Amino acid sequence: MTAAEPCADAVQEFAPAKINLTLHVTGQRPDGYHLLDSLVVFADVGDRIAVRRADRMRFKVTGPMAAGVPVDDSNLVLRAAHAAGVTRAEITLDKHLPAASGIGGGSSDAAAVLRALTRSHKVRPLSGGRLLRLGADVPVCLAATTARMSGIGERLAPVAGFPSLAAVLINPGVQVHTPDAFRALMIKNGAAMPSIPDFADTAACCDWLAAQRNDLQAPVVNMVPVVGVVLDALENQGAVLARMSGSGATCFGLFDSLATATAAARALTEARLGWWIRATTLAPRLSRPA
């Protein structure tokens, strides 16, 4: 058995990438946290968590994106386990998502370990402030379904009937720290999204999304110009819409089918730019890897 293959009796959970299709910043609280209005979906690429009962806490990080991910108590996986009252477990995080990249890797890992621990250790799911204190993105990652997220991340409204979207995700290998992105934002009281309509088809959905915003995109492009290069590359490959997710630097391009998304991802990969590039389906429910 290799390090990436947990024991057969381990409880396994998928930690999908979180994508902010929109991210409107509508205000700022006195404590500095920003008020958001964001349409959040989940991809079928992500990290994997395996948990089994043990006589003490053991934690390891494996996988292609493990380098640089903390293995101490600062890892959101261990923070989540401790918050759930678990001190004895063997936990493996198989890391496939780039860290500090606006697709919620750490938050999704925390949510996945909480889901796993409800099965392996029969703990009750965390909620409210205890969940939010792990990270503003953790509540939506625990729900892992298409949602309109507001407040600082604690208010979630499920979005019924949202279509599946074919996408390409690109991270150019630059980490963006979320506080830096918010600090670079000058206008902090943007308009909220209008109500989310029922879409006749994917084209109508993309048209509507194109009229919405990620308010962090312009300041991050300014700080990290390669994000603009990524957005241009997605458009040049035929993306119907190209936008940054969260505080970046990962960007998504929406395509009219998974076949065109896959072809675009292949062409960009063949250009050997050293970027992390994945074709994916953004699906309404927690999806699992193929």
Ligand X SMILES: C[C@@](CO)(OP(=O)(O)O)[C@H](O)COP(=O)(O)OP(=O)(O)OC[C@H]1O[C@@H](n2ccc(N)nc2=O)[C@H](O)[C@@H]1O
Smallest distance, ligand X to C-beta of residue 23, A: 6
Which range in 32-40, 80-88, 92-100, 223-231 contacts ligand ADP by CB under 6 A? Answer: 92-100
Selected from 6, 16, 46, 135, the binder of ligand X by CB under 6 A is 135
- Considering CB distances under 5 to 8 angstroms, the limit depending on partner class, which of ligand ADP, ligand X, none binds residue 109? ligand ADP
* 122 counts as catalytic: no
CA 157 to each of CA 37, 146, 154: distance values in angstroms, whole numbers, following the listed order: 11, 9, 10
φ, ψ of residue 209 to 5 degrees: the values are -60, -35
Asked if 152 and 23 touch (Cβ cutoff 8 Å), the reply is no
Which one of ligand X, ligand ADP, none interacts with residue 20, CB within 5 to 8 A by kind? ligand X
SS3 assignment, position 193: coil
User: Can you state the angle between helices 105-120 and 76-83, rounded to 10 degrees?
Assistant: 40
Amino acid at 62: T
Place of tokens 């048209």: 207
Q: Does 242 bind ligand ADP (CB under 6 A)?
A: no
Residue 34 contact, options ligand ADP, ligand X, none, Cβ 5-8 Å cut-off depending on partner type: ligand X
Question: CA 218, CA 223: separation in Å to the nearest integer?
Answer: 9
Task: Work out whether 253 is an interface residue with ligand ADP (CB under 6 A).
Answer: no
How far is residue 175's CA from residue 205's CA, in Å, rounded to a whole number?
A: 30
| Per CB under 6 A, 179 contacts ligand X | yes
Residue 100 is a binding residue for ligand ADP (CB under 6 A): yes
Among 6, 16, 46, 104, binds ligand ADP (CB under 6 A): 104
Q: Which residues pair with 94 in a beta bridge?
A: 48, 62
Choose the binding region for ligand X from 30-38, 90-98, 184-192, 227-235 (rule: CB under 6 A): 30-38
Q: Which of 78, 117, 152, 205 binds ligand X (CB under 6 A)?
A: 152
Of residues 36 and 277, the one with the C-beta less far from ligand X: 36
What is d(CA 118, CA 141) in angstroms, rounded to the nearest whole number? 15
Of the candidate residues 69, 206, 242, 279, the single one contacting ligand ADP (CB under 6 A): 69
Q: What is the largest CA-CA distance in the chain?
A: 54
**To which H or E segment does residue 110 belong?**
helix 105-120
User: Considering only residues 262-281, where is the footprint of ligand X by CB under 6 A?
Assistant: none
| Backbone φ/ψ region at 133: left (φ over 0), alpha (ψ -120 to 50), beta | alpha
**Of these residues, 44, 109, 137, 215, which one is catalytic?**
137
Give the H or E element holding residue 252: strand 251-255
Q: Is 76 in the site for ligand ADP (CB under 6 A)?
A: yes
Give the active site residues: 18, 137
Q: Which residues bind ligand X (CB under 6 A)?
A: 20, 23, 33-34, 36, 38, 102, 104, 107, 135-137, 152-153, 178-179, 182, 246-247
Residues flagged as binding site for ATP: 98-108
